[in-house]
Chains A and B, each alone.
Chain A
């Protein structure tokens, strides 16, 4: 009874100006979130190239999807990318964060330099790395030659190309994660380390027993962010390899893009988009479950 009264009085005392303030967003939401969502679910039952009328085809898009080896290949490639990119990112970011989290000169300068690739367009980074990775005359192979190691077929070998893109993506994004780890490290109270040292804990046990556990929430955040970011891998293979060699760097996002905007298969692309989004949500939720189970 009292709850109902509260609602009524809330409505009566409701601030009409509130509606005016949120109205633009409501319009925006209907146009660019709600409508696309609804339309997406309609689209998956249709064949459509935008130009000719839509054609209802029931579940044929799904039938096509389950027997589309190229899509599964693209999904596999995306997971290969994530499985290399995320661990590499965490290790590199944590290492640099720990180096930066010491007193000394130029720490702010170093942090700023490591962050530089983050602010620059992925297109710039990709053009750069295309040349660093060049087989015959690239900077990386020249350096390897100087130390007496043979040439690496960075973008030519189908088994190496995706790892190469993962390394490049790590170079581009690691600055964000260095900063996040640095914040996490600075939130660990100094006393914890001091008392551990008094108890005779060496640097290794301090790292594994204090640093890592205390960074748990940072780690969760970083895994979630880089998973979501990694799933949208597009511009790097688009510019660098076009998905090759032999489809080895065809990411799911690039495949969907090609289906929609290269072949004009809107219905099928929307179906792929929804399935892909569900996979992303499932992976992110699963990660959260695993982390929560770990924490208890």
Chain B
């Protein structure tokens, strides 16, 4: 009894350590500047002032839209092409398929530090900097997603696919109408991991986008905070950070189990 009480209080202390800073951020974003630096989450003068200030200073609504466009397109593309390639490698026999599989596994081992600068140069050469294309294209497909899909598709019974082929279904129909509905969990996993990585990525946007109206949300908030526009006004920084955190936290609230379970797939990356 005492032991389980002790364990519970340790777990509770842990929850405070992980949750309190977020609550402090949320509370602080409503507080007047002088009140923020306290431990208390309560303010008698709470207002939307900081949010109004952020909205007038930076185009955060536009940045939100940009992030939504970039993340959703990237996610859709990774799922679509990842499942197509994964299906071909798992279920279609063609010369070179094992070579391609090896190549994809090799790709996963390349540290991004090598390809980052040449990828930027490619974007410059193609005249694509400061476009959505430059934000989306380099992450449109991922070796990781292909491997995840391939592994899952290999576990499906051959009889299922044979039956559909006998019925005269094209391979695309088999993939999208027969196999996709069976793969909801894997699709959701790949989608969540991709969306999260895309939404939170800031290094690549910082490199290819200078135009403010094209910046993604994390990029704009970063520039806002370190570029001096926030004028060291803590309340505004916290409001901007809350804006940035909110969409992912809401998604997390709905798909919490899938977010957490998706992490088990990261093992494949190692």
Which residues on A are within 8 Å of B, measured CB to CB?
Answer: 7, 10-11, 13-19, 21-22, 24-26, 28-29, 31-33, 35-37, 39-40, 43, 50, 96, 99-100, 102, 104-107, 109-124, 127-129, 131-132, 134, 137-139, 142-143, 171, 175-176, 179-180, 183, 220-221, 224-225, 228, 231-232, 234-235, 238-239, 242, 253, 256-257, 260-261, 266, 269-270, 273-274, 276-277, 280-281
Whether B117 lies near A239 (C-beta < 8 A) is no
Give the CA-CA distance A183 to B25 in the complex, in Å.
Answer: 32
Q: Is the interface of A mostly helix, strand, loop or mixed?
A: helix
Check B11–A119 contact: CB distance below 8 A. no
Please list the residues of chain B having a beta carbon within 8 angstroms of any beta carbon in chain A.
4, 7-8, 10-12, 14-15, 17-19, 21-22, 24-25, 28, 36-39, 81, 84-85, 87-89, 92-95, 97, 100, 103-104, 107, 109-122, 124, 137-138, 140-141, 146, 171, 196, 199-200, 202-203, 206-207, 218, 221-222, 225-226, 234, 237-238, 240-241, 244-245, 248-249, 251-252, 256, 259-260, 263-264, 266-267, 269-270
The answer to whether A113 and B264 touch across the interface, beta carbons within 8 angstroms, is no
Residue in A106, A235, A239, A273 whose CB lies within 8 Å of B116: A273
From known contacts A22-B88, A128-B241, A132-B21, infer whether A122 and B200 are also in contact, taking CB-CB under 8 Å: yes
Verify B118–A35 contact, CB threshold 8 A.
Answer: yes
In the assembled complex, the Cα of A63 lies from the Cα of B65 at a distance in Å of 46
Majority SS of interface residues in chain B? helix
Pair B222/A176 contact, Cβ less than 8 Å? no
Closest to B100 in A: A22
**When A18-B88, A22-B88, A22-B89 are in contact, do A37 and B110 touch as well, CB less than 8 Å?**
yes
By CB atoms of chain B within 10 A, which of A102, A127, A253 has the most?
A: A127
Q: B84's contact among A21, A31, A99, by CB below 8 Å, is which?
A: A21
Complex A-B: 16 CB contacts under 8 Å? A13-B93, A17-B88, A32-B119, A39-B118, A102-B7, A104-B7, A110-B15, A114-B15, A115-B256, A119-B196, A128-B24, A139-B24, A221-B267, A238-B222, A260-B117, A269-B117
**A184 CA / B128 CA spacing, docked (Å):** 45
Is the beta-carbon distance between A270 and B117 smaller than 8 angstroms?
A: yes
Q: Given contacts A17-B171, A274-B114, is CB(A113)–CB(B266) below 8 Å? A: no
Docked Cα-Cα span, A171 to B270, in Å, equals 21
